[in-house]
Each structure stands twice: as structure tokens, then as C-alpha cells.
Amino acid sequence: MATTADIKNGLCLNLNGKLVTIIEFQHVKPGKGPAFVRTKYREIESGKVVDFTFSAGHKIEVVRIETRNYQYLYEEGDGYYFMNTDNYEQVFINKSMIENPEFLKEGVICTILFHAEEEMPLTVELPAYIDAEITYTEPGIKGDTATNTMKPATIDTGAEIRVPLFINTGDKIRVDTRKGEYSERIKD
């Protein structure tokens, strides 16, 4: 069993039966009273961010997690199939475990966090950027570029994002999967 002295960013804990990841922490030693550790953690299952304070020396249960690279294969029902790039083993992941599933492209390499003792997948992290092709967007109006205006566009994964007016159907762009936003146009 670990104590609050072992808390660091990225540490995974079992807290009240829920798996959580520490985002921020601060050891506080006030002039009067006992020391404590102020933390901010993310619940892995729900994604909710919570502030929590531990008293100093409090016992915590550390959970060992592993990150592995998996290649996205295809969607089926309410989930997705991924393949381990090392041993070609396939795993099914529910849609709720992926933050932005609309940006998944066939063949893209994702990072999956696994509970090491139980071999259970916890979350799927998409690459920060994907390259996509615009499948549909309204044509831009010539001379309408005085401001930084955006228009809706559909990319080849089926997701709809906002792009600048100069982007046309068939253009290749780079998309930030964390924010779901246009990043830049890719020149051939």
C-alpha cells in the first residue's frame, strides 16, 4: 500500500471502487494543523474531473496500468475492433471508452490504456492529429475573406467540422482530434 507521499501526476488509483488518474496535486503544510494533499483527478470510466483532499499519510491503492499501441480495424454495432500491432490479437472496445470516436479512420494507430492485473481496457487515446479528406462542403464565396469565417464541412470519417472558406470538396486537411477542429490544409 502506498501513501499520499507517493502521489504524482498520471498516477492511477482505486478510490472508493472507481479507477481515477491524478491530473494535479499539491502537498500543503499549513502553519497550524496537519498536512494534507490537495488533488484533482479524472474518473477513467466517466471522464469527470473531481477535486479531492487527502490527509497526510493516508493509505492509497495504486493500480498499475499499461499503454499499448493498437490499430483500428472496423466498427461493429456499438463498439470498435482494434488489433495489437505486436501479436495481432484483436480487442473489442465500447464506443463510450473513446473520447472522439467520429475521428477514427481505418488503419490509424491508437494508444489503449489497460488495467495490468485484470488485462481490461480502460480508455482509448486517438492520435493528436489525423489527415482527412473533405467529402462535402459548400463552395466559398469569392471576396468573402475579410474575417476569419468558417463553414461546415464533412470529412471522410463522417464527422462534421468547421473549416475556413477557402477549403473545397476533395481538399486534404489535418484535424485536431482532441478539440475536433481544423488545423491546417495539406498540400499534395
Determine contact, residues 132/183, Cβ cutoff 8 Å.
no
Say what the pLDDT of residue 144 is: 59
Range of the domain at 117: 65-125
Q: How many domains does the chain have?
A: 3
Determine contact, residues 38/25, Cβ cutoff 8 Å.
yes
Mean pLDDT for the stretch of residues 17-23: 88
Q: What CATH code is carried by the domain that includes residue 181?
A: 2.40.50.140
**Domain end among 10, 30, 62:** 62
> Is residue 72 located within the same domain as residue 48?
no
**Domain end among 16, 41, 62:** 62
pLDDT tier, 32 (very low <50, low <70, confident <90, very high otherwise): confident
pLDDT for residue 117 is more than 90: no
Strand partners for 84: 70
Return the residue matching grid coordinates 485536431. Answer: 176
Cell of 179: 478539440
> Is residue 50 located within the same domain as residue 28?
yes
Cell of 102: 467520429
Tally of CB atoms within 10 A around 36:
18
**Dist. CA 82–CA 73, nearest whole Å:** 5
Say what the pLDDT of residue 150 is: 85
Say what the pLDDT of residue 67 is: 87
Mean pLDDT for the stretch of residues 112-134: 87
**Dist. CA 132–CA 110, nearest whole Å:** 16
Provide the whole-model pTM: 0.74
